[in-house]
Amino acid sequence: MINPSKKTMLITYAVAAVLTILFILSITVFSPSSTANKKRHSIQLQLIHEADISNIDIITIQQGNSAIILTRTDNMWLAANQKYVNDKIPANTDRLKSFFVFLASKHRLTKAGKSANNDNSYGLDKHDSTVITLYKNGSAYQSLSFGDLNFSQTQRYFTTAEVKAVFLAGSEFEPFLTTSVSMWADPYIISTQLLNDAFSMGLAQTADFFDYKTNNHVTLTTSNDEQKKSIQKLFDLRHGGFVERDSNQTSDKAQNQTLSVKIQMGDKSQITMDLFEHPSIENEYIVYTTFESERFAKSFTYKTQISAWTYNKISEMMLNTK
């Protein structure tokens, strides 16, 4: 049994030890100098200036051998795979707007190292990193490099040519690091970007359907309320992604065409959807969507992929002729 005097002495030592630890913490972790030290190891970074956004006309996102190219041409933002730069599809402008707002916002980044070292411990070399390059009026303006995730898997190593150091970027950067064309594409078969911004076509007036299998032809008009609803459904349909090119395939249009839809718009412009059986995937279809405008004296065609379910929804609209 411990006698009272020894017990008192042990308690005294324990209290002294705790007070010593708290004192050390007070002059390190919780001290003003410690807070200042942490601030010296982080920066508040604005990746682009708001005034430069309107002049950015090309964005490339590179991951090893995979890359996506986003270009602004004739008031259209278009997305393409680096391997097939001529196969362009309208980009998702809502996603692009979020991207620009994000870049123009200020971000607090924690310093992780002095520079992207040669042993690539941060995953920032050209083979492992994801590099976003912004072009202003056709010239490279800003390059952002993202490397490996850190130990906690919640932050990613990041650097630019300007900061000349390695920082940790938060998970909020992750949605914009994909090189998938489908992820950056306008999700609708009839692009809302082209409809409202690039061509400003107004409201639909009529829709002509032609079934190549049955030679059946149907015209729907917006003067009929039920038919008007059917026409509107065309603008609500989403595609299933970008059409990946098959190296053994010479042309989609060499395959069987099954259906065509021609929509006359209020400004006498026209949107055409030509549907073909997919040459290599069963129960999938390829859609060529063409915007034509005499008022703007321009046209644009792109292709998307749809499922049999979406194809059947378009075909069923031909039945609504009451």
Task: Identify any residues that bridge with 293 across adjacent strands, giving them in sequence order.
Answer: 298
Instruction: Give the residue with greater pLDDT, 4 vs 75.
Output: 75
What's the whole-number mean pLDDT along residues 120-141? 87
Residue 28 pLDDT: 47
Find the mean pLDDT for residues 28-49. Answer: 59
Q: What is the per-residue DSSP string for 4-54?
A: HHHHHHHHHHHHHHHHHHHHHHHHTTSSHHHHHHHHHTEEEEESS-GGGGG
Mean pLDDT of all residues in 225-237: 94
pLDDT at residue 305, as a whole number? 95
In the chain, what percentage of residues exceed pLDDT 90? 53
For residue 59, pLDDT over 90 is answered with: yes
Give CA separation, 255 vs 229, 252, 258, in Å: 31, 6, 10
Condensed to tens digits (0 to 9), the pLDDT of residues 277-296 reads 999 899 999 999 999 998 88
Q: Distance between CA 205 and CA 234 in Å, rounded?
A: 13
- Residue 93: its pLDDT value, please? 95
Task: Please state, rounded to an integer, the average pLDDT across all residues of the chain.
Answer: 84
Percent over 70 (pLDDT), the chain: 82
Q: Would you say residue 107 has pLDDT above 90? A: no
